[in-house]
Amino acid sequence: MTDRTQPDSVVVVGAGQGGYQTAASLREHGYEGSITLISAEDALPYERPPLSKAYLKGEADEAMLWLRPATYYVRQSIDLVSGTVTEIDPAARSVRLADGSAYGYGHLVLATGATPRTLDVPGKELRGVHTLRTAQDAVALQASLAGARRAVVVGAGFIGLEFAAVAREAGVEVTVVEALDRPLARVVSAPTAEHFTWLHRSNGTELLFGRGLKALHGDGRSNVTAVELADGSRLPADLVLIGVGVTPRTELATAAGLEVDGGIIVDAQLRTTDPHISAIGDCAAFPQVRSGNRRRLESVQNAVGHAQAVAGRLAGSPRAYDELPWFWSDQFATTVQIAGFNEGHETEVVLGSDPDAFSVLLFRGDDLQAVESVNRPADHLAARRLLTQGTDLTPAEAAAPGFSLRTYLRSLAERGTEAPVAL
Ligand SMILES: Cc1cc2nc3c(=O)[nH]c(=O)nc-3n(C[C@H](O)[C@H](O)[C@H](O)COP(=O)(O)OP(=O)(O)OC[C@H]3O[C@@H](n4cnc5c(N)ncnc54)[C@H](O)[C@@H]3O)c2cc1C
């Protein structure tokens, strides 16, 4: 029996990480109404992280990316529809697809993700110039990589650096061009950024900071041959990856009259300004629990957490979304894991004397905001626990000789101020 307060049907636009999870979690919560999951991509819902890692290296095939096999959707009565939603009619509570078909909804979930930003420079349409978001993009990139000798990566963000690592491992000469003065500048602290500069340079990658792009040049057959920088210098290239961030896909929401400001605006329960429409994952700007500031986050954890919260609410268990953000990235043999969200730190405390395995604790005043762990997975788990429960750890305590996050957590448990920790 479906609860009286539950919508009788849920339509989800976008069958990526968040869209899939919404459908799966609805069924896990016992939701018995109809679920329609609409995908603009001609593929079963799949995970994106391997696209710049194992899949790109050829270590995983397409089926290994799938979040579930086709039989799952049949067994769970999840109607997987292939097509692009072109219009929402909020008054009629229906969506229309490019092929003219329409679906009515009791509740609509927008899980439309994001699309890679491009740079408006001459030559951006040349063959060999790529962005990376979809499995199709990864197949095209892999094909270019197989014949490449020199790759230029524009943007030293996570995707650019992950690709750079795979390309170096494949024996390709790689130059990374970044407009700011260090890699990962918007997402990690200076010590962690410094480590990644060292990691890539020591693996033979050239990193150029503070340099902008002017144009891409090609040969007579429209293949890219060189990247021209703003200072007029030219880098030869037969493959270019543009990794300069993403734009949230908000066009449907805007056209439907929902509030949009750098993402689809949602409240703490991930409801848009229309009570019959929610938005989740990369496309949603939601209030951070700790600061109240609205942010968009781009991570698997965020998409999954949002989806679970919305599914719970639609199945009758509403709650504010208050999960701790966390993220990971793999480059060469190095894994960085980030727990928490750094909204501007004042103090950095580095734990660990091994230059290849350390954690950086980021404090604002005495408030621990986030912890970045490089090859220290146990620190990451301890940090997640600590940040989730809340902590009065100060920078001075963390900087004391021999301080360890795990020991600190255990001592809290022994004092009865924390639940026992299994690390
Ligand atoms: C190469 C790569 C590597 C990554 N690595 C990591 C990592 O290591 N760790 C991590 O935490 N995160 C990583 N991420 C980020 C993570 O994958 C995303 O944050 C996550 O996929 C967001 O999920 P989502 O459901 O919001 O959007 P998506 O997974 O992008 O799904 C959105 C879907 O909606 C579809 N869609 C959009 N508009 C419409 C429409 N009008 N009609 C129908 N369908 C539509 C899109 O085609 C897409 O399939 C990576 C991302 C990429 C691209």
Q: Is 357 exposed, middle or buried (0-12, 13-18, 19+ CB in 10 A)?
A: middle
CATH number at residue 174: 3.50.50.60
Ligand 1 within 6 A of 40 CB? yes
Of the residues 245, 270, 294, which one is the last residue of a structural domain? 245
* Residue nearest ligand 1's atom 18 by CA: 299
Q: Are 258 and 109 within one domain?
A: yes
Would you state the pLDDT for residue 418?
57
Ligand 1 within 6 A of 132 CB? yes
Q: Are 108 and 22 within one domain?
A: yes
Of the residues 228, 245, 262, which one is the last residue of a structural domain? 245
How many domains does one find in the chain?
Answer: 3
Flag whether 342 is in a domain: yes
Would you state the pLDDT for residue 419?
52
* Residue nearest ligand 1's atom 10 by CA: 299
Q: What is the distance in A from the centroid of ligand 1 to the CA of 283?
A: 9
Q: Are 196 and 170 within one domain?
A: yes
Which of 22, 55, 251, 282 to mutate to test ligand 1, by most ligand atoms within 8 A of the CB atom? Answer: 282
User: Which range marks the domain in which residue 404 is found?
Assistant: 333-414
Ligand 1 within 6 A of 178 CB? no
Flag whether 235 is in a domain: yes
Q: What is the distance in A from the centroid of ligand 1 to the CA of 67?
A: 13
Q: Are 143 and 52 within one domain?
A: no
* Residue nearest ligand 1's atom 12 by CA: 299
Token pair, residue 190, equals 């200076």
Flag whether 305 is in a domain: yes
Q: Which atom of ligand 1 is nearest to the CA of 114?
A: 30
* Residue nearest ligand 1's atom 4 by CA: 49
Please, are residues 371 and 359 in contact by the beta-carbon 8 Å criterion?
yes
Ligand 1 within 6 A of 246 CB? no
Q: Are 135 and 223 within one domain?
A: yes
Ligand 1 within 6 A of 22 CB? no
Q: What is the distance in A from the centroid of ligand 1 to the CA of 181?
A: 28
Q: Are 229 and 143 within one domain?
A: yes
Left, alpha or beta for 350 (phi > 0: left; psi -120 to 50: alpha)?
beta
Q: Are 294 and 338 within one domain?
A: no
Work out the angle between the directed axes of helices 158-169 and 135-146 (0-180°, nearest 10): 40
Q: Are 238 and 136 within one domain?
A: yes
Q: Are 101 and 122 within one domain?
A: no
Q: What is the distance in A from the centroid of ligand 1 to the CA of 46?
A: 9
Q: Are 63 and 104 within one domain?
A: yes
Q: Are 256 and 274 within one domain?
A: yes
Q: How many CB atoms lie within 10 A of CB 104?
A: 15
Q: Are 104 and 130 within one domain?
A: no
pTM value > 0.85: yes
DSSP-assigned states of every residue in 322-356: -PPPEEEEEETTEEEEEEE--S--SEEEEEEEETT
Question: Would you give per-residue pLDDT tens digits along the chain (423 residues)?
Answer: 444 479 999 999 999 999 999 999 999 999 999 999 999 999 999 999 999 999 999 999 999 999 999 999 999 999 999 999 999 999 999 999 999 999 999 999 999 999 999 999 999 999 999 999 999 999 999 999 999 999 999 999 999 999 999 999 999 999 999 999 999 999 999 999 999 999 999 999 999 999 999 999 999 999 999 999 999 999 999 999 999 999 999 999 999 999 999 999 999 999 999 999 999 999 999 998 878 899 999 999 999 999 999 999 999 999 999 999 999 999 999 999 999 999 899 999 999 989 899 999 999 999 999 999 999 999 999 999 999 999 999 999 999 999 999 999 999 888 876 554 444
CATH number at residue 365: 3.30.390.30
Please, are residues 230 and 212 in contact by the beta-carbon 8 Å criterion?
yes
